[in-house]
Structure 1
Amino acid sequence: MSLTGVSVPTGILFPQSLLDSEWFAILATFVAINTVMYAALAAVKVLPKLHRPGWLRTRQERGETRSIHPDAPR
């Protein structure tokens, strides 16, 4: 089956009235925000994990040593 005699318009998917409607703009905005969020999450997954510095205490760590040796590490 040959398509040489059939004229198919290229680049026209939706009528202009549909592209100018408000709900289409809302949908396009939602898709754009969703795409940016997905790309940001993917980039965070690819980057190496950052570890908290050793001098920064956690909530479970005591502020001072309870050892009988005063110079012992916490």
Structure 2
Amino acid sequence: MKDKKKQKIIMSLIIAIVALLVTSFILFFKGYYGASLGVGGVFFVLATALGQWSSTKNEDYVYRKSGGPYL
């Protein structure tokens, strides 16, 4: 149950990130440069947070499976 909820949150976050990227480009090409910059900033913050979380999760998995510290 917990994994399903976590996967659902991750998928909704990915959909939100894609929507923010598309919205940022649409606003930029319509001439709303300030709004586009703000929406793009939110996109970068969310994408970076998701990437860091995924990287940490993968490093933890490798560490636990190898049984020791990295070389």
TM band (smaller chain): 0.3 to 0.5
- TM-score, with length taken from structure 1: 0.40
Higher-Rg structure is 1
With a CA cutoff of 8 Å and minimum separation of 6, indicate the structure with the bigger relative contact order: 2
Point out the structure with the larger helix share: 2
